[in-house]
Structure 1
Amino acid sequence: MRLSTARRTSTRQIASAAIAAGAVLGLVAASTGTAGAATPTRPGRPDSPIIGGTEKPVGSYPFMAALLSKGRGNPHDRQFCGGSLLDPSIVMTAAHCVVDVRPKQLETVVGRTVLSKKNQGHLRNVTDIVVHPRYARGQEAYDIAFLMLDKPVTGIAPVNLPTVGTDALIRPGAKATVIGWGNTDTEVPNYPDRLRAVDVPIVSHIECKASYPGYDKKVNVCAGVEGKDSCQGDSGGPMFRKLQGRRGVYQTGIVSYGDGCAAQGAPGVYTYTGSAKLWDTLDESAKGRMVKQLLGR
């Protein structure tokens, strides 16, 4: 799900855990605020899907993670956000996906392409959740969180991050890729079982500010065009680029919020993973300092 008018994960949905596994998830319009979570067995999907994308073959993006509410039901019905493997023991996601959620309510699977295929990927429990301290205090631009896993994920290369403080990978007009299991239809909600991807153009800070007056260019980046965008259910997932001559991918963004999905003049807003301000202010909490130390940043 994305934040703002329509793409953010709602903790109110997380609280609706009593729905039986396999039931169809209802769409809930997410507000910019978040309600306190109850005792869920399955968080609801955020408002962000892949619009205008294509299905991907098994194993296409092994670093991709799905956040699932704990339960016995079909993983396709329990998935509510995306994430990415940042370190063998850390999954990176959006703060709005997990704020006020307890680790025991979640599990994550890394390296799965088809959500319902339980033999794919590496399923892990979550031992701790680290939400960016500024997001926790109400500054929603700092939409990043880290899930500490009960045991490392082996055999999968984590994503690479941009050099802190640089903007070379977010030049306006450059193409980036967004992946997820989010909604694929703006008229009739449809959440796919198989991972999808779409290429989107980076949008300039000036243009993004025109669409979102509260946009923070120090921490955010915009991408998308009419007909191609992330949407409900994609929140927390990665936006990335592949660089010629380099192995792996460079994750430039985390799906955060947007006004609707794939609408003209309303690109998606992403937490920029190369932001110096984003990483510097992690030091404002003990858990944030711990994450930086583990990542060597």
Structure 2
Amino acid sequence: MTSKTMFLNLQLRIILISSSTLSLIVDVENEPSRQLKKSTRVSIINGVKSQPRNFYVRVQLPTDNLFCGGALIDPNWVITAAHCLDDCAADQIRVEVGDFSDDEEIYTVYHVIKYVRHSSYKPGSRPFFDIGLLKLSEPVTPPRANECVSLMLCPSTDDYGLKLAACGMGATNRSYPTTLMEAYFTKKILPINPFDFRPSSPDLIAVEPIAPFSGMCHLDEGGPLYLFDLDSLTPLCIMGIFSYSVPDPGSNPGERCNGKDFFASVPEMYAFIESTLLFENSFA
């Protein structure tokens, strides 16, 4: 099967998935301006309702109603964006685990006893090496025997292509979802232009949406970007962690989620992640 045929098949599959959900692509122009609120209709911008992704977690921060996404990579460890941990002590952070595709799910809450950020992490509106690891107070127990809730890391970028997806529970410009949403991407070759700001940085992965105007948004930070199987749409490994978006030059003032999405590269920081877990787990 050629790459073009694979791409067309994936587009068709996404359209079919989208048509089976309830009004996921929202005409925000027809909605009156109002305070952000929970809604079952909106999400990740123009995403689709996700299948169960048991590796996805919600990282609750000490500020009221503020959270980041994250992913279980080990029963005791969660990966998220390093900038989510700015000005937080470990004991102020809680991690919610459960099936976020079900809005009636009761989540299990875990305490965080420690976090580790990459030594080259640099904060700012466009952070560098934006990956942090959270150590939980106790291992996550799978909901069913012999079920794995964590997802492995992608050790290299060799499999870049048409098989990227990301999930989250972040906002559109006006609303929040009540269930986990998913969007599909292809890898973007970073051009040298003033709107990308860091076009050649190896710690970043830039993506383009397959569905028009689809992408990540506020409170999606820390959520995973993963390779998935084209036939089953089953996630295979974590390729990146959502870091930030850069609005397109033609975006309206105040539009934060209509542009380029950048993920911290897991393969680039693979050695840091693996060595941290090996060292910390040796004391468990």
Q: TM-score, normalized by length of structure 1?
A: 0.66
Pick the aligned partner of 2:242 from 234, 237, 255. Answer: 255
Check the 8 A contact 1:224/1:262 in 2, yes or no: no
Equivalent residues of 2:204, 2:263 under 8 A apart: yes
Post-superposition offset of 1:202:
1.5
Which amino acid is the alignment partner of residue 82 of structure 2? A
Listed as ranges, the matches of 1:154-193 within 5 Å are: 154-155=141-142, 156-163=148-155, 166-171=156-161, 174-184=162-172, 186=173, 189-193=174-178
How many angstroms apart in 2 are the aligned matches of 1:136 and 1:262? Answer: 22
Q: CA deviation at 1:63?
A: 0.5
Matched, 1:268 2:261: yes
Residue identity opposite 1:64 in structure 2: Y
Aligned-pair Cα RMSD in Å: 3.2
Aligned-pair CA distance for 1:149: 0.1
Distance 2:55 2:72 in 1: 5
Residue in structure 2 matched with residue 218 of structure 1 by the alignment: 202
Aligned to 2:58: 66
Residue correspondence of structure 1 range 24-35 to structure 2 within 5 A? none
TM-score (norm 2): 0.69
> Structure 2 regions of 5+ residues with no counterpart?
1-34, 38-42, 143-147, 248-255
Q: Deviations over 1:89-123 (max 9, x none)?
A: 00000001012310121100122316975623x32
C-alpha deviation, 1:199, in angstroms:
1.0
Q: Map 1:70-89 to 2 at 5 A.
A: 78-89=65-76
The one-letter amino acid of 1:61's match is R
Deviation at 1:224, TM superposition (A): 2.6
d(CA) in 2 for partners of 1:133, 1:25: 36
3-state SS in 2 of match to 1:82: strand
* Structure 1 gap ranges (5+): 1-23, 27-48, 72-76
How far the C-alpha of 1:250 sits from its partner, in A, is: 0.9
Structure with max Cα Rg: 2
CA offset at residue 180 of structure 1? Answer: 0.6
**5 Å matches for 1:53-202?**
53-56=47-50, 60-69=52-61, 78-113=65-100, 117=104, 119-120=106-107, 122-135=108-121, 140-155=127-142, 156-163=148-155, 166-171=156-161, 174-184=162-172, 186=173, 189-202=174-187
